[in-house]
Amino acid sequence: MKQNNTRTLVLAALLAAFTTVATMIIKIPTPTMGYIHLGDGLVLLCGILLGPGMGAAAAGIGSMFADLFSGYAAWAPATLVIKAATAFVGGWAFHKLRTTAHATPLRTVLAGIPAESVMVLGYYVYEVGLAMAGGSALGAAVTATAAGVPFNMVQGAAGVIVSAVLLPVLAHASRDLDTRIHT
């Protein structure tokens, strides 16, 4: 039991680090001051591979560090919560779909849709709050912040694709390493 806990903790730390790197390594700036990245693929993988609870912690921490290291400190607290919620929903949905969708890539896509919807909605709400804190009226904040939604949707779609491609590879590698992955 102790060996399994240690293995899970090490896997969580590695996935958090990979999430940070995947978020930072390829960044496509958007006109709304954000950026599109591949980190959301790792966020989903955290939830799927580690389960909703531990996966949420790894995804949130890894994504938060990427914001801190990239100069987006104002978004770091929200990123911690939003990416943790994204991983939680993705991991929960993936495991709930085990009995209905047997193909792992299909389950990954079906779990990724509600998970990435959490990300899009979470950042939208947070950015409305930031705009209002900066003095914008609610209507102006809601309207101006809506411009970022399509970019977050593209980021989410890229994350779903990345996770659907990587999960079978990681699951195969884990069998070779005699590591238990929750697929």
Domain layout of the chain by residue ranges? 2-176
Q: Does domain 2-176 have CATH number 1.10.1760.20?
A: yes
pLDDT at 178: 47
pLDDT at 126: 96
In this prediction, the residues of the chain whose per-residue pLDDT falls under 50 are 1, 177-180
If you write DSSP's letter for every residue of 25-59 in order, what string do you get?
HS-EE-TTS-EE-SHHHHHHHHHHHH-HHHHHHHH
CA atoms of 70 and 83, how far apart (whole Å): 16
Give 3-state DSSP helix, strand, coil % of the chain, rounded to 5.
Answer: 80, 0, 15
